[in-house]
Structure formats: C-alpha cells, structure tokens
C-alpha cells in the first residue's frame, strides 16, 4: 500500500466515524490551547510587572543612612550616620562591581512660581545619570547635563504634572521659574509616566536640578550637616555582580563612617534587584504550574485518544481479519492505525495552536492595547519555548497514543477475527 493509498484510506475511516473523531480531536486541541494560553498569561504577567517596575528604576539599590545597632571600633551603638556629598566618589573607587554610585538630595514643600501660577513641589538634585537609572523620560529639551553640573547652573527639568500646575498647556521650555527666591531656567520637560513605587513622591510632581546647585541652594537643614545627602543610588555592573556590589558598598561606607558593614540598621538598602528576583521566581512558579495543568490536560487527551483507538480496534476486528485474509501484512495494519492516530493528534494540535495564538493576538489587539504602557499585565505573550514545548508534548502524546492500539490491531489473528461477532 502506497503512502497516498494509506492516507486516503485513513481519511475515509476517520470520516466514517465523525463524532468519535471530533471528540478525540477536541480533547487534544483543548490541551494544546491550555498549555499555550496558560504559559502566555504567566509570561504576560511577568513582563508587565517588569515593565512597571522599570518605571521606577532598573536594577537599582537605594542606600539610606540610619543609626548604628552594633558597636564598631570602640564607638557605641545608636549613633546617627549621615552620608556626605563626597562619599559617592570614595565608594565608587572601592566598589569595583558597581556601575554607578551617586548622591541624591531633595527638599519637599519648596514654593515654586512661574509667570502663570505657583505650587508647593519637591526639588531633587542628582547627577545626570539619574535620568537613566531612575527612568526619567524627557519629552522636550534635556535633563541637566555634566556641563550644568560642573558650572552649578540654575537649570531645571520639570515633571509633567509640575509643568501642568505651573504652565497649564503653555510651552515651558526656556521659561524662568523661581524655586523659593532663586531663578531657574527650564531646560527640559519630563514625559508623562506611571510609577509603581517611590521613596519620596511621584517623579511627575518634582523638579530636577543639578546636584551641585541643589547642595548650595537647598542643603539639608539642621540637625543634619549642611554637606549631608539624603541617600545614595547604586547600580551594579551586571545582574551577576549584584551581591558583590551591595557588599562592597556596605564595606566602603562602613570604613568611611566607622560602622560594622554587617550593620543593616546603619545602612539600610532598598534592593529593587532582590525584589525583581523574588517576583520573577513567583511568576515563574505560576507559569510552570499553569503549564503543568495544560500538560496534564494534554496527556489526558492522549489517554482518551488511546482508549478510542482501542475501541476502534475492537469494533473493526472483523475488518482487520478480512484484510489479513486477503494478504495484508501486520505491518500494513500497524501503519494504518498508527497513521490514523498521528493524523488525529497533529491536525487537532495544529488547530489548537492556531486557535491559541489567534486568541492571544485578538485579545492583545482589542483589549490590552488600550491599557496603560505601565500596566502590571502585558497581555497574553506566547513564547517560542511554549510553542516548542507544545509540539514536543504533542509528538510524545501521539507516539504513546498510537503505539499500543496499533500493535493490538497488528496482532489480531485472521481466523479469530473472522469468527468475531460485534457485541459478542
């Protein structure tokens, strides 16, 4: 029997048992759809959270000064620690695993006025890389650069909400605003963004100026030292060097301010890298769990295929006997039943993948395209790995489902088959 004849005979047999074929294909298709959608949902949730988290900052650690809880170098515990405006240079020189170490200084409740309105806003000063590591998007102009920093210029980038408060819909670029009694020229306007977390307010409601300028115009008031800063911002060189960077920063600050590097009260760190890692583990667990549910569904569908094919072998016992009696070999019978199972499984699997990917595309196009760019759910995101996994499992299911029924059919003895009475 040629492959063409085998295929035609197989299709005729499947068409003769439409309901059985449909139910079998539905079970397999549903398993494939389950795997694809569940993995895609888990990936969409992970990607959405990562995207939302990056509106605050990517792989950033914020180091706050506190009070010592351990004795060190003969000094008592309970001392207040203050970061100074020169600490970042010494720390960066020692912390070789860190890409950035920068100071940040800010004052809230500063009276800000323009030609059109006034408001009470927070003024933040940091180095130019602050815009990169804290994800400050610029709509017009630029963030204060190193020339502005070196010259301690009174220039500012205004948050999108701050701009609306001070200028409404008018152009703000190049305008002069007064921060307290000091005139600042606006060199940039921030683009609107959603922000999922913060330590001192939303960025869209702030005004950003060069660090060297804010240190002169708005230093920390007593009892803090006038050269102290609020916090240090740290970024590791790579994800793999994150722990080394954190330890090197603690060690360097401990040496500068005479406290034990293991004293987490003296130098508390908000570690967004750890937060992201923990969330990734959680979402990966959810994805694997949902994928396991889909795999179970698929294998249950495979068991259903096997049972139905065994029933088909039983029902077609006389037919098998007649074929063998007229010269069909066991190999031909084996190939026929094997082909029937493979066609059912792979056609239903292909339809299942098509429905799943089509559903993902449609839902993302219609529903999730309207969500904010910083939403915690990025939509259904089927991955290449999930498609590859589905096909691998589908092939395994097809082989397991076809092997036993086909071997049972091939093992039927012609004489016993011709004697068989359906229902007997």
pLDDT, tens only, 266-317? 999 999 888 777 777 777 777 677 667 767 766 776 677 677 666 666 666 6
pLDDT value of residue 384: 72
- The DSSP annotation for 119-164 comes to EEEEEEEE-TTHHHHTT--EEEE----HHHHHHT--EEEE-HHHHH
Give the mean pLDDT of 129-141.
92
Residues 6 or more apart whose CB falls under 8 angstroms from that of 32 comprise 294, 298, 348, 349, 352, 353, 356, 390, 394
Say what the pLDDT of residue 230 is.
93
Which two structure tokens, joined as six digits, stand for 153?
A: 């210029």
More confident residue, 316 or 145: 145
pLDDT greater at residue 69 or residue 83: 83
Q: How confident is the model at residue 2 (pLDDT cuts 50, 70, 90)?
A: low
pLDDT at position 301 is 67
- Confirm if 236 and 273 have CB atoms less than 8 A apart: yes
What whole-number distance in Å separates Cα of residue 194 and Cα of residue 183?
Answer: 29
Give the pair of three-digit tokens for residue 166.
Answer: 């001070």
pLDDT tens digit string along 70-120?
Answer: 887 657 788 899 999 999 999 999 999 999 999 999 999 999 999 999 999
pLDDT at 370: 60
Return the residue matching tokens 């706050």: 64
pLDDT digits (tens, 9 = 90+) for 364-393: 887 666 655 556 677 788 877 776 777 777
* Backbone φ, ψ for residue 334 (5° rounding): -60, -45
Q: Is the dihedral of CA 57, 151, 108, 178 positive or negative?
A: negative
Give yes or no for residue 176 having a pLDDT over 80.
yes
Angle formed at CA 372 by CA 366 and CA 376, multiple of 5 degrees: 100
Res 318 pLDDT > 60: yes
Any idea where the domains of the chain sit in the sequence?
A: 3-54+277-419, 67-265
Q: Which of 265, 241, 308 is nearest to 27 (CA)?
A: 308
């Amino acid at each position: 029997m040629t492959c063409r004849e085998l295929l035609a005979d197989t299709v005729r047999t499947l068409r003769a048992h439409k309901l059985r074929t449909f139910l079998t294909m539905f079970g397999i298709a549903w398993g494939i759809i389950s795997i694809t959608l569940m993995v895609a949902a888990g990936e969409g949730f992970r990607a959405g959270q990562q995207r939302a988290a990056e509106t605050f900052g990517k792989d950033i650690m914020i180091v706050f000064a506190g009070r010592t809880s351990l004795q060190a170098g003969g000094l008592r515990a309970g001392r207040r620690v203050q970061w100074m405006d020169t600490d970042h240079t010494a720390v960066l020189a020692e912390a070789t695993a860190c890409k950035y170490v920068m100071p940040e200084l800010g004052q809230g409740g500063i009276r800000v006025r323009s030609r059109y309105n006034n408001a009470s806003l927070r003024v933040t000063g940091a180095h130019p890389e602050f815009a990169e590591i804290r994800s400050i998007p610029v709509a017009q102009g630029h963030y204060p650069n190193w020339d502005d920093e070196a010259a301690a210029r009174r220039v500012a980038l205004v948050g999108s909400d701050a701009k609306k408060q001070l200028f409404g819909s008018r152009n703000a670029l190049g305008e002069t605003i007064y921060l307290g009694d000091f005139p600042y020229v606006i060199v940039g306007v921030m683009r609107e963004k959603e922000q999922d977390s913060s330590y001192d307010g939303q960025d869209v409601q702030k005004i950003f100026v060069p660090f060297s300028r804010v240190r002169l115009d708005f230093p920390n008031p007593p009892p803090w030292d006038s050269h102290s800063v609020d916090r240090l911002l740290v970024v590791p060189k790579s994800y793999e060097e994150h722990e080394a960077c954190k330890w090197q920063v603690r060690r360097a600050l401990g040496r500068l301010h005479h406290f034990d590097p293991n004293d987490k009260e003296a130098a508390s760190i908000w570690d967004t890298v750890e937060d992201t890692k923990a969330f990734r583990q959680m979402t990966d667990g959810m994805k694997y769990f949902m994928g396991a549910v889909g795999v179970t569904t698929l294998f249950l569908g495979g068991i259903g295929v096997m049972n139905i094919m065994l029933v088909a072998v039983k029902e077609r016992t006389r037919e098998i006997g007649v074929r063998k009696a007229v010269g069909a070999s066991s190999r031909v019978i084996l190939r026929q039943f094997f082909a029937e199972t493979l066609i059912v499984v792979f056609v239903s699997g292909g339809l299942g993948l098509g429905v799943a990917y089509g559903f993902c595309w449609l839902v993302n196009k219609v529903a999730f395209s309207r969500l904010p760019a910083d939403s915690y759910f990025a939509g259904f995101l089927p991955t290449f790995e999930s498609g590859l996994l589905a096909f691998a499992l589908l092939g395994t299911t097809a082989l397991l489902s076809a092997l036993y029924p086909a071997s049972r059919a091939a093992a039927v003895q012609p004489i016993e088959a011709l004697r068989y009475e359906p229902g007997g």
